[in-house]
Each structure stands twice: as C-alpha cells, then as structure tokens.
Structure 1
Amino acid sequence: MRALAQALMPHLIIAPILLPLLTACLLLLLDGRRHRIRGMIGLAAALANLVIAALLLSWAGSGHPTAYGVYLPSNWDMPFGIVLVADRLSALLLLTAAIVALMALLFAVARWHKAGAHFHPLFQIQIMGLNGAFLTGDLFNLFVFFEVMLAASYGLLLHGSGPSRVRTGLHYLAINLVASSLFLIGAALIYGVTGTLNMADIAARIPQVATSDRALLHAGFAVLGVAFLAKAAMWPLNFWLVPAYAAASAPAAAIFALLTKVGVYVLLRFSTLMFSEQAGASAGFGSDWLLWGGTATLAAGAFGMFSTQRPGRLAGFAVIVSSGTLLAVLGLARPELTAGALYYLPSSTLGVAAFFLLAELMERSRSADVAGARAPEDEEDHLPFPLAELELDKDVNLDEDEEMLIGHAIPAATALLGLAFICCTLLVAGLPPLSSFIGKFVLLTALVPGLSADTLHVESLLTWVLPVLIVVSGLCALVALSRVGIRFFWTPVDREAPLLRVVEFVPIALLVTVCIVMSVRAEPVMRYATATAEALYHPAGYIDAVLSARPRPTPTNAERLGLQGPEATP
C-alpha cells in the first residue's frame, strides 16, 4: 500500500477534496427520486474516500523524515498560492473522518436518505469541507472549507424537518454565523501584522514581529481561537451542541461528531506550529486558556450526563467530555500527553459516532412514534443494494406504516442491541478492554508521575485536578449509561421485541470492530501517535517543506506546439 501511495503522490493529496465535490455535482444531476442509484454512488464515493485516506496515512507513516506532502493547486509560488499539506496529523484525521462518514452513510441508506431533498449531495459536501479543513495550509482556505462544512451541516441538521430540528437549527445557524464573523476578524488582524495567511509563513514570521505589533497579533489569534473554541465545544461556548446534535438525524449526528474535532485539530495545529518554543515572545500563547477551559469543559460534560436519560443527549454530552479531555491535554503542551491524546481522539470519535447511531435504534425500540422517526412514504422502500433481511418472529403483526418504518426483525435483536450498547458504554466511559481505555491510560501514566507534593502550587493545580477529572468523568459516564441501559433493556415493559434492519446494525458493529482492532494493534497505533506528536513539536520540518515547495515549470507556447528551431522564437 505504501508503494502505491508513493506512486500516486503528490496528486493523491487533492483527491479527498475533488472526489466528494465531483460526486456531489453528479448526484445533483440525478433525479431526486432515484434513491437506489444515489445511494450506490454515494457509498462508492465514500468507500473510495476511505481508500484514499488509508493510502495517505500509509505514506505519512512510512517513516521517511520528509513525509510532508505539499500540493500547489494553483501552481503559484509560495507563499502566495493555495497550498494543501498532508502530514501525519492530517492523515490521521482524514482516515477517522472517512471511517465515520462511510458508516454514517451506510446507516442512512436504510431510510434516512429519503426523508428530505438532496441528502446525498449535502453529505458529500460535508465530507469535502472536513477533508479540506484537515489538508489546507493557509487561513483563507481554512475559512473557505470551514464555511463549506458549516453550510452542509445546516442542511443535514434540518434534514427530516420537524419543529425541534428547525428550532435548534436556527440556534445552530446563529452561533456559527457569529463564529464565522470572528474568524474573518481574526484572520484580518493576523494578515495586518504578518502580511501573509499561509500558516507556515506566519509561523516563520512570528519570531520577527515587532514588540509593538505583538499584542495585535495575539488579539487576532485570540479572536480566531474563540471561533474554533466554539466549534470545539469548550465551556461555556458549547451550550448549543447537545440540543442540536440530539435533534439531528442519527447519520447527521454521527458525522457531526467530527465537527468538534475540526476545532481541536486547528487549535492543536496553531499551538504547535505558530506558538512553539521557536516562536520567541509568543511561545506557549493560549496554552493556559486551553488547560483551564478544557478542564471546565470536561467537568461540565461529566455533570451533564447525569441531567438526561435520553441516549441522543447522552451522546452529545459524550462529545463534550471528549473535547474537554483533548483541549485540557493540549493546553499542557507535552509531546507524551499529545501522543496519548492522538490515540484517544479517533477512539472517542468512533465510539461516540457508534453511540449516535445506536441511540436511534434504542429510542425506536421504545416507541415507533418517536418524533422525527417516521420515514416518508415511498413506493420503493428497499436498500440500494441486495441485502437479506433476517426475521425474528413470524407472528409479529405490523401495520403498513410500521413495516415501512422499521423493516423485518432479525434474530436476537435485543441481544445485538444490548451487546452494542455495552461496547459503546465501554468506549464512551473509557473502560477496558477497548481502545479509549488505552488512550486514557496513556494520558494518566504521563500525568501522574509528574505530580508530587513538592510541585503543588497555583500554576500546577490543574495538573493535579485533570487526572482526577478524567477518572471521575469515566465513572459518571458509566453510571449514566448504566441507568439508561437498565431503562431500555432490563425494565420489564409490555412492548414488542425491537426490530431493525441488518444494514442499520452493520455500521455500529464495524465502528466497534475498528476500536477493537485499535486495541489489539495498540502498539503500532501508539508508535504512529508518538511520531506524530514529536513532529508537531518540531515544526521546522513542516515549515521548510511548505516554504520550499515550488510550482511546476509552465511550458512555453512553442513547447505546447512542438515547434523547434527558428519557428520557436517568440
């Protein structure tokens, strides 16, 4: 795979952006009633996106010291042209996003893609925005992909209609419009001081910024940081997240779990690239805010899990707990902690995405009349590809609407849902033997040895509180999820056995399987995370790779025409 990735470089870097964009254009040309064809095209594109992400990860993890892929789409010289950069960090996030996107889309083709217009084009545009945000190397195009991602999320949040989605959608829209405005203000201030928007070029110029301009530079990054802290769900800027994610359809909520990771990714990139030890007087800027804010976010998310018994809202609070853990660890700016965070990030993301998908099946098992659960009537209510539906009970009588909504039962449906719920509980709570426990264990082993009674002072207080909160948050998640599990699976109620389609359970099982594989193959995954963290805290390689990139020579008119001799003279 590495040889194939090497052969396809550097043009493979732009593929995660072009593929979903072209797929969305193709889907818009198709009749909206052709659900089967649209589903097949969307799944094929999502699968191809996963293969591309895996190739990029294989190339980035090849161990080559210059494993930085730089692509100049406009073929302009640096730092004036558009630039895309693939490194270990961006490849890791691309693969995580590709896995979640494919599983969410597979879940959606069972029913949700028919609940409104243009689901598949919006989903592909969402993938394009996510991939572009992870690959871009300049602030302007980061804003572009940020807006593309948000524009698609507005449509996906409202997909399926309903008053709760409209109400929370308006709040979500207003918050993100404010964040976009702050983004522009912050980028303008940074450009006014540094004269560039290329992130590598900004990092190279920050040490030379005049003392009189440094406060303005910090103000620009602070304003820009607020926009991404709101997206990363830092307390108290995260009040919008739980209502919005709980109201969204299950596949939309699953991919929304990635949106907070965009904020975490950008903050990690800024802190290690622009405010590293080589940044002079700006070194470590904002790290204290990340530590304090992340710790408060972790505490708020853990407490919030006790405030609800709805699985969808629990999953939303699990997103906040994950973001709080990552932000607090990044605020400490220690490579060994960042390595643990990079292992924990995909594990928690995949676990929460699986729980969002499972939450709908659980709520549907309680009642077929859950708000927003009824699919629109369609003459062809079958999957976009042949897939057998297994039956549990031949004697269960379903009316026409219920059969269209739920499908035929499969054997041991209750046992399958219960097993999936146990696995998601272990992932969300960070309990053994699944991968999120390993990530938390790495974080705790890196935190605890550095603590002693001799180091107890105001500045290090949070480094004592953080490991306690990480453990307590897992306990809170375990208690809250156990309470919900008892209510949904063990409380005796007079209701039919839960009914689900195979295609709705397969994505959940695959997401859990990936986490199991991460547990079994923890050593190579941890080596990759450690190498990624080391590269992040030594940004000279990234800066040199980007600033040394040169456009390809443009052929002259004579060369294009194949002329030689005197005829080639202009």
Structure 2
Amino acid sequence: MPHLTILPVLVPLIGGALLMLPPLVGHPQRQRLTGIACSLILLAVSINLIQATSNGQMLLYAVGDWQPPFGILLVADRLSTMMILLTSLLGLGSLLYACAGTDEQGALFHPLFQFQLMGINGAFLTGDIFNLFVFFEVLLIASYALLMHGGGKPRTRAGLHYVVLNLAASAVFLTSLGILYGTLGTLNMADLAVKVQQLPESEAPLVAVGAMLMLFVFGLKAAILPLHFWLPQAYSAASAPVAALFAIMTKVGIYAILRVYTLIFGDDAGTLSHLIAPWLWPTALLTLSFAAIGLFTSPNLRRMVAWLVLMSVGSILAVVSFHRPEATGAALYYLLHTTLVTGGLFLLMDMISQQRYKASDRIVGARPVAQPALLGGLFFLGSIAVIGMPPLSGFVGKALLLKSAHHVNEMIWYWPALLGSSLLAIIALSRAGSSIFWRVSGAPSEKRTHPLEVMATLVLLASSPLMTIFGGTISEFTHATAVQLYDTHHYIEAVLSVEAAP
C-alpha cells in the first residue's frame, strides 16, 4: 500500500477533525467510540508498518511528490516504526482509561488526544529537521491543553511553566535551524549529513553552534539535567491518562538525539563527529543520580512515577552516549519497557488515590482501599517491573544496559549509578507500598475502580511479562534497529538516490 507511511499522521488528524464536528461533539459516548476506533486503526497501521520494515527496508513518502531534498519527506525505518507502535500501544491504554470518566472533566479531550498522537507520530517519521520542528509544535500545542485538562491550580501552575519553557525552546530551535540552513543550504537530514561531510573547516564552528543549540532543545524535551525541572511538577499534576501518554514525550527528545547526532554528526562528520559525546555522558549520569534522589524523597505516588520517568531518561542516554550498536540496542529495549510500565504506573497510582479520599496519593497511612488484593497485586507487579528485579523485563533491560558498558571507565561510573538508583527505587517503592496497604485504620473505602480503568492499566503493565517471554525476539529486533541506525550510508543512499512514493 503506497500510502501506508503517511497513515500514522493522517489517521489521528482525520479522527481529531471528525471529533470536533456536530454529530460527535457534545456526545461523550460517540466520541469515546470514535476515539477508540481511531486508536485501534492506528495500532493496526503500526503493526503493518513494523512488518514492512522488519527486513531492513525503508519506506519513503514524498508529500506532494516533491522529491528529496526538497519538500516534506516521511521516512519509515525500523526505529521510527518501533516508536510509532510504542506510541499506539501507550495511546490505546491511556484512552481506554480516560473513557471511564476522566474525559468528561474538560471539553475537547478526544480531539486534542488525537492531535497529540499526530504530532508524536509525525516527529518520528519526518526526514526533515524543519518538519521535526513543525510536528514538535503540533504535539506541544495539544499537550498544553491536555496538561490543564480538568482545571485546578496545580495544573494551571504546571501548565504555565511548561508553556513558557517550551516556547523558549521553540525560539532556540528556530535559531538553530536558521544557522544550519544559512550555512549548509538544506534541512533534509540525509542532505545535511552529506553537506556536513563536505563542510569547510572555516564554517565548522558555526554549524557546531547550531548543533549545540539543537541539543539544548532536545535535552529540554528529554528532560536532561539541568533542563529537567519542569517534568516532576507537570507529570504529577496532569490527569492520569494524560500523564500516561506523556511517558512517551521524553522519548521523543531521546529519539531526536539518536537520529540527528547519529546521522548528521556521526562517524563521517569530520571535526564535528560525536559532537555531543563529551556533554551527553556526564549529564545523563547526573540525571540518573539526581532522579533517584528525587524518587527517594517524593511525598506522593504521582511524583514518584514522574521521577521514575526521569531515571529512565538518564539510564538510556548514558548508554546511547557510548555510540555503539549493541549499547543502543540495549537502550532501545529498555526504552520500550520503561515507557509502557511507567505509563501503566501513572494509571495505577490514580486508581489508588481515588480509593483513599482525602489522603489521595500521599504516602501516609489512611483508610484501607476497597480493592486491596487487586491494587496491591498491580502495585507489586509494576514495582518489580520498574525496579528491574527478576523475572520481569526491567531485569532483562537493566542486565542488557550493564552488559553494554564493557569498558573500564564506563563500568566505574555507570554500574554504581544504575545499581544505586535501583536500590533507592526499591526502598522508596517498598516504603510507599507498606504505607498504603499496611498502615491502614478505619473502615475500608467504598469507592471501587471502574473495570475499564483496570483493563487499561493491565494493558500497559502486562507488557513487562510479555517482553520477558518474547525477550529474545524483541532484543534481536532492537539490536537490528540500532545496526540500521548506525548504517548512515544506507539511509543517505535510500533517501537521496531512490525516488520516494508520491
């Protein structure tokens, strides 16, 4: 099917537009059915895309038949289709949870949700840095409104900080694009890679400035220290399904770092090769260590999960900085695991807080929850998975991460940081679980969890045992994805030498 590559953008775009029309707007049940149908179609498209690219083939799509390096080009390879499938799974689980009633807390939730998916998928598919900026803006505009869905002072305050920081980042992004275009005359990623290889030494410092400005933008999206301070407040204030979907947002920044600084500023970039390596390694370690401290001192459950998201960012980017296919393959496996599990934990913590009334999600003793076996079992499953204890996928992922650090200097710094943060996570989650399920008094809560909320949470948390069962297949795929990512010559030749589908 020639138009398969653009469907991850078109499906949520058309779905979001339909959800704003009179037959659907103002009718929650119709909006829910339409939103779920769009998410299921998107999931089916994602599965077809990953099957089409699993043999190493790259699918190119030239919007308007403007061939590269001109016009809007979409590129589907193993990495981009893997990220789209991950987004589709996370989006489906988040939307199912919202359909239990959270979507009624504010207007236009479902159209905004679809537009958010459109922006995320577009960012993963684009082969042009300017269009990466465009899709960033699409997903950010939707996320501004979704973050404040349901209203309230904490969400308004977090939303204000989030908007201001991202508007500043957008201005910096445009500045960096202007520098690169003015110097190299193109913004197509493959064409940029060729132009950087031919760059005169006299112009290299200016291009390096543009590249470092982009690192600032991508670092803010990924929430690398010291650009992380917006994340704990924003994620802990957002409604549960929005926070769960936001678990993919930091991974958009990680994807951009992987794609841009491997393809354009990789091994063949001359004096600009591995430009960010001296910065990425220490900041990733600091992010991991600082996030572990933040997790340990968190006063409530939602903020704990937000710090867990930040810990995953540091764990992944430290390994990415090794710039080796086997290391990046391990990082991609862990990225899949941690995105789905932390998304499920955001939903679980909301279910727990609903049954604790005034205590909400604060880590204090309170009345017993109405469903201690169900919520306690899910809390145990999610905690074991996210900590990295056997036999779930977190253990497999962290074992792969530790194995990828095989140089002495890498082991000396990375092993203590990763294992130490895991120890702090064990202590913090054990303390939280004992406070919630054992330090109880009074009559049990009468509020029970909606079956749709339980199903949505299970969809995401069940990914961990499934990733363990199929761990060999998934790790082989992530390794092959990393190998294709570092084969920049193949990417450049495929984009610039082959006519893309119009």
TM-score by length of 2: 0.96
User: What's the % identity of the aligned pairs?
Assistant: 41
Equivalent position amino acid for 2:482 in 1:
A
Give the deviation of 1:463 after TM superposition. 4.4
Report the CA distance between 1:212 and its aligned residue. Answer: 0.7
Alpha-carbon displacement from aligned partner over 1:207-264 (angstroms, at most 9, x marks no partner): 1111011000010010011011011010111101001110000000001111100000
Structure 2 match to 1:433 = 391
Q: Which residue of 2 aligns with 1:493?
A: 441
Q: Match for residue 38 of structure 2? A: 45
2:379 equivalent to 1:421? yes
- What are the equivalent positions in structure 2 for 1:466-481 lying under 5 Å apart? 466-481=414-429
Q: Which residue of 1 aligns with 2:17?
A: 25
**Counterpart residue number, 1:550:** 499
Distance 2:254 2:21 in 1: 36
Report SS of the residue matched to 2:214: helix
1:499 Cα shift?
Answer: 1.4
Report if aligned partners of 1:358, 1:421 keep a CA contact under 8 Å in 2. yes
**How far off is 1:276 after superposition?**
1.8
SS in 2 for 1:120: helix
Contact 1:54 1:95 in 2 (8 A): yes
CA deviations on 1:490-542 (whole Å, 9 max, x unpaired) are 11221424511110111111112222111101111111011111111111111
Matching of residue 120 in structure 1 with residue 78 in structure 2 = no
Contact 1:136 1:142 in 2 (8 A): yes
CA distance in 2, matches of 1:80, 1:535: 24
Which deviates further from its counterpart, 417-426 or 494-503?
Answer: 494-503
- CA distance, structure 2, for counterparts of residue 14 and residue 331 of structure 1: 31
Report the 3-state secondary structure (helix = DSSP H, G, I; strand = E; otherwise coil) of the residue aligned with 2:227: coil
Letter in 2 for 1:428: V
Identify the residue that residue 366 of structure 2 maps to in structure 1.
none
Quickly say closer, same or farther: Cα 1:210–1:318, change in 2 above 3 A. same
Does residue 348 of structure 1 match 2:338? yes
Aligned match of 1:236 in 213, 218, 226? 226
Q: How is 1:447-486 mapped onto 2 (pairs within 5 angstroms)?
A: 447=405, 449-451=406-408, 460=409, 463-486=411-434
Q: Which moved more, 1:418-427 or 1:226-235?
A: 418-427
Q: Which residue among 50, 53, 66 is the counterpart of 1:57?
A: 50
Query: Within 2, Cα distance between the matches of 1:486 and 1:331?
Result: 37
Is the 1:289–1:331 Cα contact (8 Å) retained in structure 2? no
**What is the CA–CA distance in structure 1 between the aligned matches of 2:441 and 2:455, rounded to whole Å?**
27
CA distance in 2, matches of 1:245, 1:504: 19
Match of 1:89 among 79, 91, 97: 79
Q: Which residue of 2 is the match for residue 73 of structure 1?
A: 63
Cα drift, residue 369 of structure 1: 7.9
| 1:62-82 C-alpha deviation (Å, 9 max, x unpaired) | x24xx1110001201221111
Give 1:322's aligned residue.
Answer: 312
Count of aligned positions: 493
Q: Deviations over 1:141-188 (max 9, x none)?
A: 101100000000000001000011111110111011111111101111
1:262 aligns with 2:210: no
Conservation of the 8 A alpha-carbon contact between 1:78 and 1:549: no
Choose which of 308, 313, 335 in structure 1 pairs with 2:303: 313
User: Which letter does structure 2 place at the counterpart of 1:476?
Assistant: L
State the alpha-carbon separation in 1 of the partners of residues 420 and 71 from structure 2.
Answer: 48
Distance 1:495 1:167, change over 3 A: farther
d(CA) in 1 for partners of 2:477, 2:341? 20
Structure 1 regions of 5+ residues with no counterpart? Answer: 1-7, 372-408, 452-459, 554-570
Distance 1:255 1:465, change over 3 A: same
Task: Tell me the amino acid that sits aligned with residue 488 of structure 1.
Answer: I
Q: 2:311 and 2:360 mapped to 1: Cα distance?
A: 27
Q: How does 1:150-169 map to 2 (within 5 A)?
A: 150-169=140-159
CA RMSD of aligned residues (A): 1.5
- On the 8 A contact 1:79/1:547 being kept in 2, the answer is yes
Alpha-carbon distance in structure 2 between the residues aligned to 1:118 and 1:285: 43
Find the counterpart in structure 1 of residue 364 from structure 2.
none
Name the CA distance, whole Å, in 2 between partners of 1:332 and 1:36.
Answer: 49
- Given the two structures, how large is their TM-score scaled by the length of structure 1? 0.84
- Which AA in structure 1 matches 2:176? G
TM superposition shift of 1:552: 6.4
* Mapped partners of 1:464, 1:288: distance in 2: 17
Answer whether contact 1:79 1:198 (CA < 8 A) is retained: yes
Amino acid at match of 2:390: P
Q: 1:288 aligns with which of 265, 278, 282?
A: 278
User: What does residue 568 of structure 1 align with?
Assistant: none
Question: What is the one-letter code of the residue matched to 1:50?
Answer: L
How has the CA–CA distance of structure 1 residues 551 and 345 changed in structure 2, closer, same or farther, with 3 Å as cutoff?
closer
SS in 2 for 1:277: coil
**Structure 1 partner of 2:7:** 15
Mapped to 2, the partners of 1:51 and 1:469 lie a distance apart of 39
CA contact (8 A) 1:366 1:495 kept: no
Cα offsets for 1:280-299 (capped at 9, x unmatched): 22111101211111000000
Is the 1:354–1:511 contact (alpha carbons within 8 Å) kept by the matching residues of 2? yes
| Structure 2 residue matching 1:432: 3-state secondary structure | coil
Distance in 2 (CA, whole Å) between partners of 1:188 and 1:438 is: 43
Partner SS for 1:276 = coil
Q: Name the CA distance, whole Å, in 2 between partners of 1:288 and 1:55.
A: 39
Please list every run of at least 4 consecutive aligned residues from structure 1 whose deviation after the TM superposition is greater than 4 angstroms: 368-371
Q: Secondary structure at the match of 2:63?
A: coil
Matched with 1:532 is 481
